[in-house]
């Protein structure tokens, strides 16, 4: 059996079957009153950084997507370790620009480079491990959503459309929702939280499986990004494309007014284990599709 | 300027110029009475795993070399994060064997897989981050060697000769010196410690620079591995080849008898900032060479 018959999510599941909390964006380690929150992401030239990506934004992106995982747990970034493989023929200034992008992202959102490794390889590969901390009673997990809760997202959906109009800078200039994650964590009102790296549809299907619930979205409530609206099928981008790195969270509606931050209600948690979307009284089912490595 | 004109050690230096302790094998984070010790290593198909390497030993090696860094700090492994990039055409059983090798190494030496990521790439790349803990007063650093101390190594030197006789299993079956590292740490007698990933000559030159001292080795004291002795120039393998992953440490000679472990004295720390080797009264200088990525 080849890996393309298995798919990334099943492989990660096997890789991490002994995880502390197998279903979250991060792993956690007990540390007194706090959790040390750990996440790792590996990115490759061909898959993650389209031809023409600027090294500054490559560096920025590599840090930002890891901080996004910490944000979904409500954690503050503490330390970062970076491994970079590159060809020996790469220009020194290309390497320097990657580092600048990394540093600027940490300056803005937190974290400090404490360890690293560079190696030779014909392809550019960046592997980041990000370490954060969060008080135990503020930690946000994927498990906890209950029927009757409302569903929310930060920011906008469908930003991967930037790839299709060639705006690679914006595609890679991901803003990790550290501040929003902290506000949600401090409020202690969230019943489940994850980040949208795999796309909204796939993320809701994952939350559905973990929490044994379903979701009913309202199409006109979705904060579709301006760039996705320029596409032929904006909803496709908002639902099925990865790369938004927004927070997706659930909580009882009554807490909305407690939160001093930007977010948007997109629907409700329901008992029936289906992911549905409603528009003008008509309801359709949302498929479980989205980007997954190794699968076609 | 291309990276091959710069070299790996300079690049890592730039990558990590804001490190907590820039010159050690690991980064450290303050955690009450303890340090959290962090290290990361990235390994690629072409550079680290020669053609014909078995996936089980690839997995084992990837964990072992990271644990070796923790060992040099005197730390016990706590948690591991693994990122693996592979081609979609890789057989599932190849992936499974890598995981088995990783798990067996952790079972024997400590650590637990708590997070991971798999991605698609034409080349096999493995990136490991290992996290350990050590009491602050037991932490071993590279800085501290003083003229008059003796110099020691665990195990044998020159094991990279296995590559040249095609014994890849043994080459990759690295035994991280966790137990020895802990014994040295608990004894609190070591003045400096590092692991031998880059070869003895290169490691001594690094210690010389950090500690502003030199070394005088005795050639006949070197524990040259049996496999290196079969080569035309065994000493070349013992001095200039990487991949031994033994502990190199210094301490006042009087403490030798306190240590309940196998190790070998190979020479002394001297005031003159030179790395010298003596044989039958004749003394030669040891060059600063060894394996370094990006350089030819």
Q: How do residues A23-81 score in pLDDT, each as one tens digit?
A: 566 888 888 899 999 999 999 887 788 889 999 999 999 999 999 999 999 999 999 99
CB contact under 8 A, B42 and A78: no
CATH number reported for the structural domain that contains residue B131 in this entry? 3.30.1330.10
Higher-confidence residue of B36 and A7: namely B36
Higher-confidence residue of A293 and A81: namely A81
Same domain, A144 and A109: no
Judged against a pLDDT cut of 60, whether residue A18 lies above it is answered with no
pLDDT band at B179 (very low <50, low <70, confident <90, very high): very high
CA dihedral (A203, A204, A208, A209) in degrees, to 10, reads -30
CB contact under 8 A, A92 and B131: no
Judged against a pLDDT cut of 70, whether residue A22 lies above it is answered with no
pLDDT band at A8 (very low <50, low <70, confident <90, very high): confident
CA distance A175 to A244: 9
Same domain, A129 and A175: no
A293 part of a folded domain: no
A227 to chain B, closest Cα gap in Å? 27
CB atoms near residue A221 (< 10 Å): 15
Give the chain B residue nearest A82 (alpha carbons): B40
Task: Tally C-beta pairs within 8 A across A and B.
Answer: 225
Neighboring chain B residues of A47 at a CB cutoff of 8 Å: 119-121
Same domain, A148 and A77: no
Same domain, B124 and B254: no
Neighboring chain B residues of A93 at a CB cutoff of 8 Å: 1
B137, B154, B176 - which closes a domain: B137
Of B1, B31, B127, the CB nearest to A92: B1
**Mean pLDDT value across chain A:** 91
Of A2, A18, A90, the CB nearest to B92: A2
pLDDT band at B159 (very low <50, low <70, confident <90, very high): very high
CB contact under 8 A, B85 and A44: yes
User: In this predicted structure, what is the pLDDT of residue B26?
Assistant: 81
DSSP reduced 3-state for B282: strand
Range from A22-36, A107-121, B31-45, B135-149 carrying the lowest mean pLDDT = A22-36
User: In this predicted structure, what is the pLDDT of residue A20?
Assistant: 40
DSSP secondary structure of chain A: -BGGGT-HHHHHHHHTTT-SSTTSSSEEEEETTEEEEEEEEEEEHHHHS-TT--HHHHHHHHHHHHHHHHHHTTPEEEEEEEEEEE-TTSBHHHHHHHHHHHHHHHHHH---EEEEEEEE-SS-EEEEEEEEEEEGGG---STT--TT-EEEESS-B-TTHHHHTT-HHHHH-----HHHHHHHHHHT--SEEEE-TT-HHHHHHHHHHHHT-EEEEEGGGS-B-HHHHTSS-HHHHHHH------EEEEE-GGGGGG--S--EEEEEEESSS-EEEEETTEEEEPPS----TT--
A138 to chain B, closest Cα gap in Å? 20
**Mean pLDDT value across chain B:** 91
H or E element at residue B216: strand B214-218
A292 part of a folded domain: no
Same domain, A128 and A167: no
pLDDT band at B20 (very low <50, low <70, confident <90, very high): very low
Higher-confidence residue of A114 and A67: namely A67
CA distance A273 to A210: 11
Summarize pLDDT for B70-102 with one digit per residue, the tens: 999 999 999 999 999 999 899 999 999 999 999
CB contact under 8 A, B38 and A83: no
CB contact under 8 A, B129 and A129: yes
Of A16, A79, A99, the CB nearest to B15: A99
CB contact under 8 A, B2 and A38: no
Q: How many CA atoms lie within 13 A of A266 on its CB side?
A: 26
CB contact under 8 A, A40 and B131: no
Judged against a pLDDT cut of 50, whether residue A273 lies above it is answered with yes
CB contact under 8 A, B85 and A6: no
Judged against a pLDDT cut of 90, whether residue B1 lies above it is answered with no
Q: What are phi and psi of B105, to 5 degrees?
A: -65, -40
B293 part of a folded domain: no
CB atoms near residue B88 (< 10 Å): 18
- Across the strands, what pairs with A130? A39, A80
Judged against a pLDDT cut of 90, whether residue B186 lies above it is answered with yes
Same domain, B145 and B275: yes
pLDDT band at B16 (very low <50, low <70, confident <90, very high): low
Neighboring chain A residues of B12 at a CB cutoff of 8 Å: 116-118
pTM equals 0.86
Same domain, B128 and B153: no
User: In this predicted structure, what is the pLDDT of residue A3?
Assistant: 77
Give the chain A residue nearest B3 (alpha carbons): A88
Judged against a pLDDT cut of 80, whether residue A13 lies above it is answered with no
Task: Report the residue of B45, B121, B130 to disrupt the A interface, i.e. the one with the largest count of A CBs within 10 Å.
Answer: B121
B109, B137, B165 - which closes a domain: B137
CB contact under 8 A, A15 and B125: no
A164 part of a folded domain: yes
Of B28, B87, B114, the CB nearest to A19: B114
A296 part of a folded domain: no
CB contact under 8 A, A2 and B293: no
CA distance B76 to B60: 18
Same domain, B105 and B144: no
CB atoms near residue A169 (< 10 Å): 14
Higher-confidence residue of B131 and B116: namely B131
Neighboring chain A residues of B117 at a CB cutoff of 8 Å: 12, 15, 40-42
CA distance B70 to B74: 6
Of B19, B115, B123, the CB nearest to A115: B19
* Cβ contact B183:B259 at 8 Å: yes
Same domain, A117 and A253: no
* Cβ contact B74:B185 at 8 Å: yes
Same domain, B168 and B270: yes
Of A15, A32, A87, the CB nearest to B116: A15
B137, B170, B196 - which closes a domain: B137
CA distances from B136 to A58, A273, B185 (A): 37, 51, 10
pLDDT band at B21 (very low <50, low <70, confident <90, very high): very low
CB contact under 8 A, B120 and A44: yes
Q: What's the average model confidence in pLDDT over A268-295?
A: 88
B39 to chain A, closest Cα gap in Å? 6
Same domain, B161 and B109: no
Summarize pLDDT for B232-251 with one digit per residue, the tens: 999 999 999 988 999 999 99
* Cβ contact A132:A69 at 8 Å: no
A119 to chain B, closest Cα gap in Å? 6
Q: What's the average model confidence in pLDDT over B129-152?
A: 96
Please return the burial class of A31, using the count of CB atoms within 10 Å of its CB with bins 0-12, 13-18 and 19+. middle
DSSP secondary structure of B145-182: --TT-EEEESS-B-TTHHHHTT-HHHHH-----HHHHH
Give the chain A residue nearest B99 (alpha carbons): A15
Nearest to B25 by CA among B250, B286, B248: B248
Q: What are phi and psi of A175, to 5 degrees?
A: -105, 100
Q: What's the average model confidence in pLDDT over B240-266?
A: 96
* Cβ contact B6:B294 at 8 Å: yes
User: In this predicted structure, what is the pLDDT of residue A258?
Assistant: 94
A244 part of a folded domain: yes
Range from A86-90, A202-206, A211-215 carrying the lowest mean pLDDT = A86-90
Judged against a pLDDT cut of 70, whether residue A21 lies above it is answered with no
A295 part of a folded domain: no
DSSP reduced 3-state for B73: helix
Q: State the total domains in chain B.
A: 2
User: In this predicted structure, what is the pLDDT of residue B287?
Assistant: 87
Of B3, B40, B117, the CB nearest to A12: B117
A132 to chain B, closest Cα gap in Å? 12
CA distance B43 to B243: 13
CATH number reported for the structural domain that contains residue B236 in this entry? 3.90.650.10
Same domain, A268 and A157: yes
Summarize pLDDT for B268-291 with one digit per residue, the tens: 999 999 999 999 999 999 988 876
For chain A, percent of residues with pLDDT exceeding 90: 74
Task: Report the residue of B5, B13, B15 to disrupt the A interface, i.e. the one with the largest count of A CBs within 10 Å.
Answer: B15
Range from A6-10, B135-139, B290-294 carrying the lowest mean pLDDT = B290-294
User: In this predicted structure, what is the pLDDT of residue B8?
Assistant: 73
B82 part of a folded domain: yes
Instruction: Give the domain extent around A162.
Output: 140-285
B125 to chain A, closest Cα gap in Å? 8
Range from A112-121, B100-109, B253-262 carrying the lowest mean pLDDT = A112-121
DSSP secondary structure of A29-91: EEETTEEEEEEEEEEEHHHHS-TT--HHHHHHHHHHHHHHHHHHTTPEEEEEEEEEEE-TTSB
Of A78, A81, A293, the CB nearest to B119: A293
Of B89, B112, B116, the CB nearest to A40: B116
Q: What's the average model confidence in pLDDT over A203-225?
A: 96
Summarize pLDDT for A116-142 with one digit per residue, the tens: 888 888 889 999 999 999 999 999 999
Judged against a pLDDT cut of 80, whether residue A225 lies above it is answered with yes
CB contact under 8 A, B119 and A5: no
């Amino acid at each position: 059996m080849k890996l393309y018959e298995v798919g990334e999510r099943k492989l990660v599941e096997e890789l991490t079957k002994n995880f502390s909390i197998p279903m979250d964006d991060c792993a956690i380690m007990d540390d007194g009153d706090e959790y040390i929150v750990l996440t790792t992401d590996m990115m490759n030239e061909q898959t993650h950084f389209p031809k023409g990506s600027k090294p500054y934004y490559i560096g920025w992106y590599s840090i930002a997507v890891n901080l996004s995982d910490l944000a979904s747990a409500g954690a503050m970034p503490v330390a970062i370790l970076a491994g970079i493989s590159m060809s020996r023929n790469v220009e020194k200034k290309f390497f320097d620009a990657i580092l600048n992008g990394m540093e600027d992202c940490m300056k803005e959102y937190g974290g400090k480079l404490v360890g690293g490794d560079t190696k030779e390889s014909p392809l550019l590969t960046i592997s980041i491990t990000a370490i954060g901390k969060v008080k135990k009673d503020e930690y946000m997990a994927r498990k906890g959503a209950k029927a009757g809760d409302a569903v929310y997202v930060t920011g906008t959906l469908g930003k991967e459309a930037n790839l299709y109009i060639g705006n690679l800078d914006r595609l890679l200039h991901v803003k990790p929702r550290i501040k929003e994650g902290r506000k949600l964590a401090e409020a202690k009102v969230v019943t489940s939280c994850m980040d949208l790296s795999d796309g909204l549809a796939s993320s809701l299907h994952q939350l559905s499986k973990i929490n044994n619930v379903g979701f009913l979205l309202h199409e006109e409530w979705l904060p579709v990004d301006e760039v996705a609206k320029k596409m032929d099928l904006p909803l496709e981008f908002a639902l099925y494309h990865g790369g938004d790195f927004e927070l997706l969270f659930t909580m009882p509606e009554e807490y909305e007014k407690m939160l001093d931050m930007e977010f948007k209600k997109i629907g409700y948690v329901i008992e029936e284990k289906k992911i549905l979307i409603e528009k003008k009284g008509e309801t359709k089912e949302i498929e479980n599709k989205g980007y997954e490595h190794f699968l076609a």
